[in-house]
Amino acid sequence: MKIASFNVENLFDRAKAFNDDTAAAKKVVKLEAELNTIFEQPVYSAADKDRILSIMKETGILKSDNGPYLLLRKIRGKLINRPKSGTGYTIDADGRGDWVGWAELKTAHVNARAVMNTGRVLRDVNADILAVVEAEHRVALKQFSDYVLDQVGGTPYEHVMLIDGNDDRGIDVGLMTRKGYPIGLMRSHIHDVNGEGKAVFSRDCPEYCVHTPDGEKIWVLPNHFKSKFGGNDPVSQAKRTLQAERTAEIYNGLLSEGNQNIVVLGDLNDTPESAPIQALLTSTDLRDISEHPSFNTGSYPGKGTYDAGRDNQKIDYLLLSPALFNRVTAGGIFRKGAWPGARARRWDVYPELEKEIHAASDHHLIWCEII
């Protein structure tokens, strides 16, 4: 059986700010989150109103609801007064009860060739159990499997599941399994909260019990920890730390119930030596597939799973319980759909990958085979 994880960076639509590698675009992501946090407050102080106006100006939605990267959605009530003179803007709403609305990141279609290259990656790896990171929703994941995989000569997945998570940008984790590997019991952790009542997981850490043709049960925990996009500040680090600790608790809980075949996989958004994810890497008995003697990085020697594939760019993981790790026969990184660099091409790619925009993802798929 082959197990794999791939951050596909959305299958069809993606936030425009994620596509632009500029300081302004990265900052918008943080400002959108801050703005929505203020919007949810029951009462807006004078300082809150000043901050709302400041963020709206910086993100280009002060004069209009439609900015370069951000939209202001207003459903009911009035948030802002925009004089015809173009000056003297004021926040009319005094709190959450005065209006219904929010700010959201604008999306743009993913390049069509990139979508097809994503299909080629999944076709060639042909995993039996595939964790998908950054899929928009279950319907998109199912359509991708049914139509795109078929178009590139692959076999659509029999079972496709995705539980909508906590990220309002359409960044979810899902699971696709082949015929003979039905998905049984499912448990979501979107409602797990910290001491302040805030969600632990940026997306989710779902538990999927996959049944194999041999009658075994494999517990699969796909994950996508807090991103460093826009900065790796102490808040982001603390969030990943909490996510790693909670994932470790879930893993240990499964072990205590007598389950031996468990895999934690996905984009943890941090490197192996980083403090935030040590709860998973060193405080459990999980084993990283990259530690296995059979692990193959291909023609490029780096163990990195992101961008240029350097060792210090390893942020995607496939962590196995000892029972599964002891059954590994092969593992590695599949890079054929990733941009190899414009000049010194680091690895072979599909002929259809002619420009960076054609890349299936800026992440590299990670996989293992288990007897």
**Residue with token string 């790790």:** 325
Coil, helix or strand for 35?
helix
Q: Looking at residue 311, what is its pLDDT?
A: 94
Q: How far apart are the first and last CA of the chain?
A: 6
Q: Looking at residue 258, what is its pLDDT?
A: 97
Q: CA 226, CA 232: separation in Å to the nearest integer?
A: 10
- Residue 279: which of 299, 307, 251 has the closest Cα? 251
Q: CA 21, CA 167: separation in Å to the nearest integer?
A: 21
Sign of CA dihedral 242, 243, 248, 253: positive
Q: CA 131, CA 221: separation in Å to the nearest integer?
A: 9
Residues, the chain: 371
Instruction: Calculate the CA dihedral of residues 226, 192, 288, 278 and round it to 10 degrees.
Output: 70
- Full DSSP string of 193-262: B-TTS-BS-SS---EEEEEPTTS-EEEEEEEEPPP-TT---HHHHHHHHHHHHHHHHHHHHHHHTT---E
Q: CA 265, CA 243: separation in Å to the nearest integer?
A: 13
Residue ranges and CATH numbers for the domains of the chain are 2-13+110-370 (3.60.10.10), 19-107 (no CATH)
Query: Per-residue pLDDT for the chain (371 aa), expressed as one digit of tens each?
Result: 999 999 999 898 888 888 777 888 889 988 998 999 999 999 999 999 999 999 999 999 999 999 999 999 999 999 999 999 888 999 999 999 999 999 999 988 889 999 999 999 999 999 999 999 999 999 999 999 999 999 999 999 999 999 999 987 778 999 999 999 999 999 999 999 999 999 999 999 999 999 999 999 999 999 999 988 766 889 899 999 999 999 999 999 999 999 999 999 999 999 999 999 999 999 999 999 999 999 999 989 999 999 999 999 999 999 999 999 999 999 999 999 999 998 878 999 999 999 999 999 999 999 999 99
Contacts of 240 (CB under 8 A, 6+ apart): 225, 226, 268, 269, 270, 276, 277
**Residue with token string 């010194």:** 344
Q: CA 255, CA 212: separation in Å to the nearest integer?
A: 19
Buried b (16+ CB within 10 A) or exposed e, 121-132: bbbebebbbbbb
Look up the pTM and report it.
0.88
Q: CA 230, CA 30: separation in Å to the nearest integer?
A: 7
